[in-house]
Amino acid sequence: MHKTNRIDVEFFRSILKYDARTGLLRWRKSRGPVRAGSVAGYPLSRGQIIIMVNERNYQAHRIAWAIYHGEDTLEDIDHKDCNPSNNRIRNLRIATASQNGGNSRPSRNGLKGAYPNSNGYTWMARIRVGQQKLYLGCFPTEQAAHEAYCRAAVEHFGEFARFE
């Protein structure tokens, strides 16, 4: 379950207009320095768009989903292309936390799922499924470890599997 501020769909529809084609949310009315029609929100360091309403932060992709589908969801919403600022409706999909993690880019240089072994000669393959890190084996090359990761990713994440 996602620990975010709940979205009152009708309220957000009254203050924001969502363009599913562009993924942008725009203010319906001027208030203070904000002008009607201006793009709502600001990006965080990783690119995710945040919109402040009534002194609370809301994730733009969750607002977009709620406005487009007419209901809020407690489930994760995944960006298919891993671009957290691309909130086009065709780029958003419901996912479990594990699936969302499976569709992530590697956090370091190198091939996803492959890690140098402490002996300095071999490579270890691991995958995270839910809260568990699963050991997939030890391999002679980084490529072989990555291939083991790819097979496991397809098994565990299906269409959410990302290999790079």
What pLDDT, on a 0 to 100 scale, did the predictor assign at position 56? 94
What pLDDT, on a 0 to 100 scale, did the predictor assign at position 1? 36
Name beta bridge partners: 27.
16
Name beta bridge partners: 43.
49
What is the pLDDT of the chain when averaged over all its residues?
Answer: 89
Residue 122, C-beta contacts closer than 8 angstroms, at least 6 positions apart: 138, 139, 140
Distances (CA, A) of 17 to 22, 72, 93, 114, 116: 12, 16, 20, 43, 48
Nearest to 51 by CA among 3, 90, 12: 12
For 31, counting Cβ atoms within 10 Å of its Cβ (0-12 exposed, 13-18 middle, 19+ buried), the class is exposed
What pLDDT, on a 0 to 100 scale, did the predictor assign at position 63? 97
What pLDDT, on a 0 to 100 scale, did the predictor assign at position 117? 87
Q: How confident is the model at residue 32 (pLDDT cuts 50, 70, 90)?
A: confident
Percent of the chain topping pLDDT 90 = 57
Q: How confident is the model at residue 164 (pLDDT cuts 50, 70, 90)?
A: confident
What pLDDT, on a 0 to 100 scale, did the predictor assign at position 37? 96
Q: How many Å apart are CA 78 and CA 122, to the nearest integer?
A: 34
Q: Looking at the predicted structure, is the pLDDT value of residue 2 above 50?
A: no
What pLDDT, on a 0 to 100 scale, did the predictor assign at position 82? 87
The reported pTM is 0.74
Q: Which of 11-15, 70-74, 146-150, 159-163 has the lowest mean pLDDT?
A: 159-163
Sheet with 132-139, side-by-side order of all strands: 114-116, 123-129, 132-139
For 40, counting Cβ atoms within 10 Å of its Cβ (0-12 exposed, 13-18 middle, 19+ buried), the class is buried
What pLDDT, on a 0 to 100 scale, did the predictor assign at position 108? 66
